[in-house]
Amino acid sequence: MANTLQIRRSATPSAVPTTAQLALGELAINTYDGKLYLKKNVSGTESIVEIGAGGGGSYLPLSGGTLTGSLAFSGSALRIRGSTNDATYANRWMFQDSGANAATNLGVIPSGSGNGAAQWYFGASDPDNSNFLVIGTNSSAAIITAGALGTGTNVPLFFGVAGSYRFIFGTSGQLGIGTGSGGNTPNYGTAGQVLTSGGPSAAPTWSSGGGGGGISTGKAIAMAMIFGG
């Protein structure tokens, strides 16, 4: 019968050998945690290293686990992937605060003495050739802007509420109101018209200035902004 070679071991959860328990070149295994350890000596300073953990410390399992330090990426074109299009919204990949009954707040900060941070959203899988939306801030302004890179095409900027688009900024800077099904059709009015409030329960409309019951230019300056067609 073949002999079974066994190394120093412990079945105690989270138990880690000490430098006094291991000789240089000796291995130890925690059979409960499934972790392997060795002792190293650097210029007379001894320490215990967990093998396979990048030089020491715990590593995250493939399922679950808690990260206790910063997560750093190296390389380029890296992606964090998960399902974000499940028909059941609760099944989609999302951020959530770890506190009980806590609100979730996502932060984006500059590095070192940098003074700006932004989130970029692209309309194509090739960001260098796509339209984009940027929401950001710096030391002098808070910014929401849309544009395009490379062969991407500029598109209008839509603002919606209650399932319909209400205001639209066209690619030439013109202001429109949403019309049609879901407010998908921009109505930019005509030159000289003013945007008139529809009161607390109705959307605004474009109105002509001047007499005959219309809104005069003077009143329009007090009541609304004037936009060119």
Average pLDDT in the chain: 85
Please give the pLDDT value at position 59: 61
Continuous H helices in 168-214: none
The pair of structure tokens assigned to 172 is 């030439």
The pair of structure tokens assigned to 213 is 């019951």
Report, in angstroms and rounded to the nearest whole number, the Rg of the chain calculated over CA atoms.
31
DSSP assignment string, 199-229: -TTS--EEE-BSSTTSB-HHHHHHH--B---
Q: Tell me the residue type at 108.
A: V
Please give the pLDDT value at position 155: 96
The pair of structure tokens assigned to 137 is 């801030």
Mind listing the pLDDT tens digit for each residue in 21-80? 999 989 999 999 888 999 999 999 999 988 865 444 556 667 777 777 788 888 899 999
The rounded distance, in Å, linking the Cα atoms of 216 and 193 is 10
**Element of type H or E holding 187:** strand 185-187
Q: What is the pTM of this model?
A: 0.65
Please give the pLDDT value at position 7: 87
**Residue 222 scores a pLDDT above 50:** no
CA-based nearest residue to 8, from 125, 20, 169: 20
Please give the pLDDT value at position 212: 38
Mind listing the pLDDT tens digit for each residue in 103-153? 999 999 999 999 999 999 999 999 999 999 999 999 999 999 999 999 999
Lowest mean pLDDT among 4-8, 155-159, 216-220: 216-220
Distances, alpha carbon 99 to alpha carbons 17, 31, 78, 154, 228, in Å: 33, 32, 29, 41, 50
| Cα angle, residue 47 at apex, residues 41 and 49 outer, rounded to 5° | 105
Can you tell me the mean pLDDT for 86-107? 94
